[in-house]
Structure 1
Amino acid sequence: MSELVTGSADRCRDERARAARTLMVTGVNHALHDGYTDLIYVLLPVWQTEFALGYGLLALLRGLYAGTMAGLQIPVARLAERIDGKMILVLGTALSALGYVLAGLSGSFLALGFALALSGAGSSTQHPLASAAVSRAYGAAARGPLGIYNFTGDLGKAAIPALVALLLVIMSWRHALLLVACAGLLVAAGIALWMPAVGKGHASRKASSSPGHAGDKGRGGFNCLLAIGVLDTAVRMGFLTFLPFLLRGKGASLPTSGLALALVFIGGAAGKFTCGWLGARIGTLRTVLVTEGGTAALIAAVLALPLTPAIALLPLLGVMLNGTSSVLYGTVPELTPPHLTERAFALFYSGTIGSGAIAPVLYGLLGDALGPSIATATTAATALAICPLALVLDRYLAKQATMPHSRV
């Protein structure tokens, strides 16, 4: 009997160690890829001078990276149903690094665009596959770890562009990109060496058609979750689009506006870290109602208050703006059959990334027509519109919880 207990304890320790290793490796990988994504913003002025580009072509460079990353996530998820996700993550990270090698060697706009598209294609692997790997590693307790995984991306967004900005003081942008690419190759090697095997995402036909899986209820719940994710991203990107102009209207200088944005981003990173755990403790519905209601109230306060108190509220507003996303990511596995986890994350990330690209344009047109204050108030109204959807989602989650063997 004691041997059975000891063996069970050893297996539990091994599973916890494997889960922690999965979270650590995927977190580092997430930081790298999100850093790669936002690094382009630092380099756009450099490329404008180097290749004599207009703003339209500069925007196209950013769009090539983001477009290939978003567009290939679903095909990558389908590929993971046949090939071990760990292998795809290794190859994707190496491909993303290779893209930056080619960008550093490029001598024309076309070559640079091809290199960025290649790097974006590599980055398409990490969101759906790494999220699914963390979800499977932690099972029913995945909400908090997914929040940590989400948080690591913000660390990369802060660290890698800042590091390259410093490197540009002492070396050319080409050499700086080669160093960044070497870091990517090291991360790819680390995934190959230290990340536990992910396995294939598919299950047998019998399992996928069994009544224990989500079926129509799960699809309806996932569609509701995706709608919330799309609207939540629209609120965040729309508000950030207008924040510098609102602050300037209150008398803020350019450095003050930069500080204000930094405060929002710091609060956002904290929100991603904490709200995943909060969702695990008080539930998706309550957390979403708190974050979206808080977002609407704080946006209204920023609109109404003078400059100094408005800036003081920005870290808390950042928590609310970004906190919902961790709760939503943690809910994806609950509404998805295990054999479709990668595909569900791919759909979810594609929808939110697409919303992040389109929403600023739509809110910008509204701002041209009605002014930035009214357009910003519309983002607060959008946040409130999420609350009824959260109530609908809660009903789907309650139904899902009563289904036997809805998650394995």
Structure 2
Amino acid sequence: MSVLMGSKRSEVLPFQAMEVLNAANRLEQRGEHVLHMEVGQPGSPLPDQVLRVAQDYLSSGRLGYTEAHGIPALKKSISGYYQQTFGLEVPESRIFATTGSSAGFNLAFLAGFDHGDRVAITSPGYPAYRNIIEVLGLECVEIEVGPETRWSLTPEILERVHRETQLKGVLVASPANPTGTMMSPDALKGLVEACDELGILFISDEIYHGLAYEMKEETALRFTQNSIVVNSFSKYYCMTGWRIGWMVLPEALVRPVERIAQSLYISPPELAQVTASAAFEAVEDYEKIKANYAANRRVLLDHLPKLGFDVVPVDGALYVYAGVSKLTNDSLGFCQKMLAETHVATTPGVDFDLSRGHQYMRFSFAGDQADIKLAVERLEHWLS
């Protein structure tokens, strides 16, 4: 009798942040107190005024399908966000609500590329990019970046890679995961314009917009009408479990994305859409939450170097990406040992960089400030 096997496309590497989360959860089930610094999940609940909108809508007793591209109220709110934040007129017709940013990336890759097309990402980078690209039958081209370019892709590097292997697309995040580094407006403009000149579809991951500490973030929409922008309510807006995000699409891709989304997702969850449309009204509450992240970031930047970690500049997002070469040459084993002996959960760099990740690890500072300080105390004791 033949043995049932999974498909070749399912043979992607595991998402180590989630593997660590699973191990941490097992420790908690045994009654241990685990400090979670492995996933970029905001520790704060929804602001009361946003939660009340969800509660009131839920009490209506009816939740159903919506338009595949999202309810009008949400799209109007998102359009207003671009006007208020960036001074840009973004037509509601180009805005597409998604089931989290994950669905946004699926739709971007499916609508923007054909089987076998090459899509570039930076390394280190979010591992799900690589996995989604490969699962969908595209070729992932990883471009190493480092401190010489502040961990960012430059037009010169992109053009060199494009000459060597013709690219159809490139995906860039600013602020970035795992490094937290950001591109200046001029740097982003140069990269976007290079993509337009080379005929490369630019996908801008802007899910950490709102979470900038050293400079103001910029959107790719300022520089081109040809890019796909992916954003999410998971990070700044603390709606991780609601699974709601959005895209801004070139006009030519609106209908293709809609056709694909109708079959893959039908529509994003109605309750999440209604709640997300109200989140833009709670900026004052969200800025208080962001101030907590900033304080947590400061704690890690002040203490990790004293413990032997080399930290990468943290302009935004929710992470410190730290070199561990002074402590170990195996970040995976180091993180596993740290979790077992200190109950501090972090993510090994091999999740984000297949060639150099053994020298790095990622700390999330999205949690409670008391937990961040306690984690530092545990690590000081453990490493002393």
Larger Rg: 1 or 2? 1
> When the two structures are superposed, what TM-score results if normalisation uses the length of structure 1?
0.26
> When the two structures are superposed, what TM-score results if normalisation uses the length of structure 2?
0.27
Indicate the structure with greater strand content: 2
Indicate the structure with greater helix content: 1
